Structure 1
Amino acid sequence: MSEKPTAVRVYLARVRTALADLPASEIEEILEDVRPHLAELEAELGEGARVEALIERLGTPESYAAELRASGGYPAPAEGTTQVLATAKAPSLAKPRIAFWGLVLSAVALALFAFAAAVRIDPDALLGAMLFLPVFLISLFLLLKGGIEPVLALPEVAWLRRTLAKGREQEDSGKALSYLSSLKPAWWIVCAVVLVAFGLLLMLRERDAVLLLPFLLLAGVAAVWAGPRLRGDRRLLWVAVPISAFVIGGILGGFGAAVDLISNRNSYSSSPSYYQSSDRYGNEQLTYGGREVENVYAFDAEGKPLTEVYLYDEEGRPLTVTRYGCERSSGTKEKIGADNRFPRPRVEQGVTDDQGNFNGYNGYRSACREDAGVPFSAAIPKVTAPPATPSSPTATTTPPPSSPTTTPTR
């Protein structure tokens, strides 16, 4: 059984092919000079290092061969040979480019949707990330089919690697990059912890998020497994990059949610007020003093409850909120519409026993009922009208006394 070729052997074989126009003795001399350096590099990368890891450090074997040719003063390949090689062997960049940018787009999308879900503490915000799932799967398929090597040879990837290499050469940025690199082992543990905590937080807000928790747990395990192996197998970037992007977006969103919560608490702590928020259906809701208001009861001056009351704000806009009711087939509370009519029947969920009694002691069947009654009585304070201020008497003109009638004397 033949021994599996090492990464150095595969890399040098391609270098030999790129130098095939030189004399055989010259090729052997060049390879003997670089073989120890490649062996040291392979030992540094660790056992099981792949060719892709050497390409990331040295460039493609063809570009490395060109550098060796130039440093040794050897002539460039003949023009006719170059054209033949370019025509026969130049690979298309379309597939590796799709694989690379598919990974980038998927990672950015995950970061944005994780940020939105953390800010709103709403798992439904993650549903938009499903739109990018086909993009990621196509990218992963092209990677597994073509390998990581063509992706690492892309011009944009080469530019990124050169930029990072220049950053390491500069003192300030080099220290920063070295510090971030030293945090890599702990980063994957942080990713796993954040993913699990994120899932539990969403589950506390919305019970349906329990379906999301296994996927987050799996992603946490994948991060801890794939992260330390990136140095030897760059294909694992398609696991580590999306997970890292999701975690970074979730952390930033959680920080934003905390800042918003603190600012709102400070703004509304002085006095309760009405403001609108959104429920899981996207409908605006009323809250009072930080608590959601599901129903409003109105009474007349005699303390009698009013029905068919419609609420509007000072600009004439209806205060439309979600209306819930009983879904008869499943016996659960469900949305049945949205309006500004109050009061609403109270929806109660429970169980029934075998006689159909609601909330039976030995209940086993889910049930739901609506109660249109008012759950409390209101004592309306009597408003006593202030006594009317007596008006000042109207001045009347007293007629002058009539002159006494004089009866003439005879």
Structure 2
Amino acid sequence: MTVTGQDITDYVARVRAALADLPPAQRDELTEDLADHLAEFAAETDGTLVERLGEPETYAAELRSAAGATGGGGRNLDQRVATALVQVRGQLRAIDTRLGPALGYETASEFLRLLRPAWWVLRGYLAAMLVTVMSTGGSIGLLPRFGGELLAGLFMLVGFVLASIWLGRRSGGLARWPRSAVQVGSAVLVAFALVALVNAEDRLGYDDYYYDQTSVDSQYSQVRDVFVYDSEGRLVENARLFDQNGNPIRLGYPDCSSPIDEDGNPLLRPYPYCVDQAPFGHRAPGAAVPTPTGTPEPGVTPSTTPTATTTPPATPAMPPTPTPTG
């Protein structure tokens, strides 16, 4: 963006206003060659004066600090804030210069400027994901969705990325308040990205210690444990269930012990989780097969004597077979 003469005049006027508490001679001395300096600086660099030098009040505080000038009266709040900003900017510049060589550049900001196009694309993606969260009630994945529709979300993503690139290429020409709004919006998107990363990390950590259940009917949602019995009514320990594709079926929750098995893999944990809580226990040899409505006590063999017998009808006597006599 080209810096006009009016821009320079306005900047100098604001600097002089920030130094109004100084004696006029001292203020004139500090700002004597300021307009020429700003014109040379604008011709050598891109962007507005505010972008390159900061706010005029901050620049005035730097002049005041460099000259060791103090006003006749106490400084107002704006001047104290400007002085504090000068100190913060000085520390940031020192950090910027210190980190630059580690990145292969004179300053770290020079390296970061190369990443601005990537940030513009990422900013559009984050904006689309934020709209996804708001339109789906908190559901989020890797791709944006608008109202739960993936195709609409992809169109939204393309639009947001193009808008972000357009805005980034023209941010230098924005006025103060629009530029501040863009910066605040970018900060909101960065905060949203950090929260999303924390939530993703929590989900991954949960999967490390527990397991995702295979989709089953809702009638099994209250199952806490699974007990498998063979055809003879004997409890089968260390059993595992798989679907037709060989995927493990996980039901229940091992609340009687750790969900991690000896191998550290929760998907290989066998059933039942809590053997001592088996509803029918271990069947003794020769015991009747237990049924849900009538369960014999473990180790007790139920009587096989019928409670009622029916006498079969009498069979008519057969006449004796004659014995041949020779």
Task: Pick 1 or 2: higher relative contact order, CA cutoff 8 A, min separation 6.
Answer: 1
Which interval holds the TM-score relative to the shorter structure? 0.3 to 0.5
Q: Which has the larger radius of gyration?
A: 2
TM-score of the two chains, using structure 1 as the length reference: 0.38
Task: Answer 1 or 2: which has greater strand percent.
Answer: 1
